[in-house]
Amino acid sequence: MPAELIDGRHLAALIREEIRLDVERLREQGRRVPGLAVILVGDDPASRVYVGHKEKACLEVGYYSEVHRLRGDVSQEELVTLIRALNDQEDIDGILVQLPLPVHIDTETIIETIATDKDVDGFHPYNVGRLAARLPLLRPCTPYGIIHLLDSVGETYKGRHAVVVGASNIVGRPMALELLLAGATVTVCHRFTADLEHHVREADILVVAVGKPNLVHGDWIKPGATVVDVGINRTAEGHLIGDVEFELARQRAAYITPVPGGVGPMTVATLLRNTWQAWQMHQPD
């Protein structure tokens, strides 16, 4: 039997609706609603699309939102000044700087300028460190969204071997920490890993986040495995495909995420959930 698809669009819609109802109750009570500020530097087409998705999602659930669109040659000092002002802005609970940034701006400096209790992307070293210490607060959106996807199909984690392909700070490394927190035994593969095929074949839970189309061959998938494909790659014909050879992998896996419609919607839904959590953190005792 082909693998069951893990429907990220459906789960994300449920999360958005839950948040929308919570925000509606806040308005009925005359209380301040959560606020999210998004900063876009430059005119990268993909970044514009991502920011548009986040702006639309905030509107749908009723959040207050601000989008700060800055020119591509903005100085690092100007960007830092804006973030510090947003850190102090009481109607803003979350701050997100859309990545990647232009090469003349140091990404780590910008991430570390964001107040830790407004870091709804979960990228600040403080929040990543809390996840590593098993004391999570605001968690990186894509990995945390993947945990929700896995939970939705009844993943048990304990006693299961999870393999993460890709070791980026945005997905791979925090994904490994999330899986460890859940109780899985975790292997992380990266560009220096010898014999990737061997590790993939051992995976009960496989998460691939590299950005190389069909990097993982479908016949490498362990029968009955759960496969999460984070990759989004556009073919010459304009189709979106993942990092996993989907059709053959689906014949071997028990569960698999589609591309598109799997992980992507959950990243935005988790951003909304993180913003709600940040709002709760900012409420008086």
Catalytic residues: 54, 98, 121
Question: Which 3 state secondary structure label does DSSP give 196?
Answer: helix
Residue matched to tokens 């998004």:
38
Distances (CA, A) of 251 to 217, 226, 233, 246, 255: 12, 12, 21, 9, 10
102 phi, psi to nearest 5 deg: -55, 155
Question: Which 3 state secondary structure label does DSSP give 164?
Answer: strand
Non-local (6+) Cβ contacts of 67 within 8 A are: 37, 38, 39, 40, 51, 55
Pair type for strands 35-41 and 64-70: parallel
DSSP 207: E
